[in-house]
Amino acid sequence: MSTTKLAPLAAVLGIAGVIAGLAMDNFPDGSMDDTAVTRWFDSHGTGLWMASGFAMALGGTLLLVFAGVISALVDDAGAGPIGRHVTSTAATAWAVLTMTAGAMWLSVPVGVEFFDVKPTAALISLSGLPYAVLTTVCAFAAALLAATLTTVSRQTGLLPRWLTVVGYPAAVLMLTNIFLPMAVITLYFVAVSISLTRRTSVASELPAAPRAEPALLG
């Protein structure tokens, strides 16, 4: 399968990177005092924590690839200027915010390991910031992307009908609480990625067709 056909799967790999990073999360409890935090770093080190941050940052990078892919596919489908720009902006924002969360996740272990920052309870409290980014503003961007893709697909047929039916409810569920967004984001965008991969595979086997006229709205 060519790179063009596999490109939509960048979202699946990007989300997998984020999930892997969260699964490796082993930073200490925020209720620890300075002495307990120091003992924790002495016994656990920083390797796994840094690997967790790198996995998230890599996931965000792959989502940036997906942002470029989805923007091109929306354009090829004949979406209007608003739909094209909002899709591109939402996808790029989701990717960049995920990369930012990964960088923030790395800040504590990198500071301790390479810049002799003293591990303290106050420093550990900063580790909650990247999680907040992932579960709030990243979810906002992903929800906007889901809603925009649904609107564009209803106009152009980019996604199958069943995905345009579940798109708006999925976007709402991505904003419900701090636990549900990752599950809904994963399920929805895995389905989108597989659908787009199958679409590009079929399209590559068909003779070239005239480019669709852009939709007037969206």
Q: Is the pLDDT higher at 130 or at 1?
A: 130
Per-residue pLDDT reduced to its tens digit, 194-213:
999 887 654 444 444 454 45
210 located within any domain: no
pLDDT band at 129 (very low <50, low <70, confident <90, very high): confident
pTM of the shown model: 0.86
Is residue 218 assigned to a domain? no
Q: Is residue 145 part of a domain?
A: yes
- pLDDT tens track for 28-51: 766 778 888 888 888 888 888 899
Flag whether 212 is in a domain: no
Residue 217 placed within a domain: no
| Domain presence at residue 193 | yes
Residue 131 within any structural domain of the chain:
yes
Give 71-93 pLDDT, tens digit per residue. 999 999 999 999 999 999 999 99
Q: Which residue has the higher pLDDT, 122 or 152?
A: 152
Number of domains in the chain: 1
In a domain, 192, yes or no: yes
Domain that holds residue 77: 3-30+40-204
Share of the chain above pLDDT 70, in %: 85
The pLDDT assigned to 45 comes to 86
Which pLDDT belongs to residue 187?
A: 94
Which DSSP string corresponds to the chain? Answer: --HHHHGGGHHHHHHHHHHHHHHH--PPPTT--HHHHHHHHHHH-SHHHHHHHHHHHHHHHHHHHHHHHHHHHHHHHT--HHHHHHHHHHHHHHHHHHHHHHHHHHHHHHHHHHS-PPP-HHHHHTTHHHHHHHHTHHHHHHHHHHHHHHHHHHHH--S-HHHHHHHHHHHHHTTS-SSHHHHHHHHHHHHHHHHHHHHHHHHHTSPP-PPPPPPS--
